[in-house]
Structure 1
C-alpha cells in the first residue's frame, strides 16, 4: 500500500461502491480485494495514510527529507521507520473509529479481563485495539503475503517491521477514568482502555530507529530467517527495526532522494536529540553568530479589557552547521 498515494488522493473518493477500490494505484490487488469486502474501513485507511505522512514529516523534519523519495528506498533504515509507523497508525485509526461509532462492523472494546480495583469499575467506550490490529495487519501485510510481491528478503524485512509497529501500538494502551460522586467527590470511577496518540508511537519508533539492526537472510532449520549482519550468532529481536541496505547519506545534498543536506541548517547546541548540532551537522561542526530579535515585553493588563506591551530587542546566539 502506498500511503503517499492514499494520503494525496484518498479523500477524493467516496468509498461507497466496490468499483472505487480500483480508482487509485495506491492499492495493490490483494488490498483492492480487502477494500471491496470492507468498504466502511476505507475512510479510516485514508485518514491513517494522511496521519502517517504528517507524523513522518514531523519526525524527519531535521533531515529535510522528502517522504515521496524516502519510501522508494524500500529496504533502507529510513523505510523501516516509515513502514513500521504506517502499520501502527493504520491499526490506531481503525481502533479509534470503532470506539467513535464510525464503523458498523465493530464497536467499543470489550471490558478488560483484568480485575477492576475497589474504587473503579470497567465501563465507558474503550478503543477497540483487537479489531484495529486484526484489520490493520490484514491491509498492511496483504501486499507482502502474495507470491509475487518481491524478494523473500523484502517480505521478511517489511513483515517484521510492520509487526514492530503494531507491537508498539499494543504497548501504548493506558487506563483512563471518569469520576462519579456527589459534588465531584470521585467516590466511584468508571474506567476504560484507550490508546495514546500516534505521536507516542512515533517517539518510541525513533528510539528503535537509532538502534536499528542491519540484517541478512540466512537458512536456519529448513527456513529462511533474518539475522543481524554483524552478529549472526543471535536472532533478530522482535522489538527492533531491521533493514537490508544503508539509507542514503542525507548529510549532503542529494536531489535523487529529495535531501537538501544539512549545511547552513540551524541546530540546537544544548540538545541531544535529532535537532542537536552533534547529529544535525554530521561531525562537520557548526558556526556561531548573534542575531538581534524583537519581542513583546513589559506587558500590562488594563481594565477592561486589553493588554499593552512595549517592544524590546535583545541579542540571541544562533548556530548553523558548517
Structure 2
C-alpha cells in the first residue's frame, strides 16, 4: 500500500516537472529579457547561507526590490531555491559536457543567463525553474520551511512489514507528515518570478503569461 502511494506521488512529481518545463520553454521562446532571467543569480546564496539572511538578500545582485523582500521574509524557502538552482546548473553541465555549448557561457559560475530568446536560454530557464520548484517541494515535505503546509509538523516513525528474506525484521522510516508539497513549490516559484515580470512586462504581456499558467496548471 505504501509502495503504491509512493509510486503515485512520484508520478505526480514527474508530471508537474514536465508541465513546468513546457510552460517556461514556451514563455522564453517568445520573450526573454536580461532582467527577466537575472533571478538565476540567486544560486549564489547556496555558497553563503551561513551569513545573515538579510545581508545576503540585500547584497544579492540581479534581484528586484520585491524579490529582496521575499528573500528576507522567507529565508528557508530561499535556501531551497538556491539549492535547486545549483542542482540545475550542475545538471546542465552534465547534460552538455560533450557539446560545444555546455551552459558555461550563459551561467558563468553563478551569473545571469543571456538575454537572447534562444533555445539554450529557454532550456536553462526551464530546468532552473523546475529545479527550484522541486527543491522547494522536497524541503516543504521534510518540514524545513515553516510557512508551507508541511512545516513545523512532528516527525512520525512508521513501521513497515519486512519483505521475505529480510530476516523477518520490520523496517522503520521517518514520515514528516505529508508528501512532497508540489503545490507550494509551484506557487512560491511563480510568486518569485512574478515579481520580476511586473517590472518588465506591460499589462497585456502579464495577462498572457497568466493565461498560459492557467492552461498548464
Q: TM-score range by the shorter chain?
A: 0.5 to 0.7
Partner of 1:105: 147
Correspondences of 1:223-262 after superposition (within 5 Å) = none
Number of residue pairs matched by the alignment: 148
Identify the residue that residue 44 of structure 1 maps to in structure 2: 80
| Contact 1:48/1:90 (8 A) holds in 2 | yes
Runs of 4+ in 1 over 6 A off after TM superposition: 150-153
In the alignment, structure 1 segments of 5+ residues that lack a partner are 110-122, 171-322
Larger radius of gyration: 1
For residues 126 and 30 of structure 1, the distance between their equivalents in structure 2, rounded to whole angstroms, comes to: 30
The 10-residue stretch of structure 1 (65-74 or 45-54) with the greater mean CA deviation from structure 2: 65-74
The structure 2 residue matched to 1:127, chosen from 175, 180, 193, is: 180
C-alpha distance in 2 between matches for 1:125 and 1:18: 30
The alpha-carbon deviation at position 68 of structure 1 amounts to: 4.4
Change (3 A) 1:159 1:52: farther
**Structural RMSD (CA):** 3.4
Distance change in 2, residues 1:142/1:107 (3 Å): same
Match of 1:140 in 2: 193
TM-score w.r.t. length of structure 2: 0.56
Q: Which has the higher contact order (CA 8 A, sep 6+)?
A: 2
1:22 to 42, 55, 58: 58
Which among 28, 31, 34 is matched to residue 70 of structure 2? 34
Q: 1:40 to 1:87 in 2, by over 3 A?
A: same
Deviations 1:154-198 (A, max 9, x none): x67x958x959xx5xx8xxxxxxxxxxxxxxxxxxxxxxxxxxxx
- C-alpha separation between the residues in 1 aligned to 2:146 and 2:45? 24
Structure 2 vs 1, CA of residues 159 and 76 (structure 1 numbering), >3 Å: closer, same or farther?
A: farther
| Counterpart-to-counterpart distance in 2, 1:60 and 1:159 | 29
Q: 2:117 aligns with which of 75, 80, 93?
A: 75
Q: 1:215-269: per-residue Cα shift (whole Å, max 9, x none)?
A: xxxxxxxxxxxxxxxxxxxxxxxxxxxxxxxxxxxxxxxxxxxxxxxxxxxxxxx
Equivalent-residue separation in structure 2 for 1:59 and 1:82 (angstroms): 11
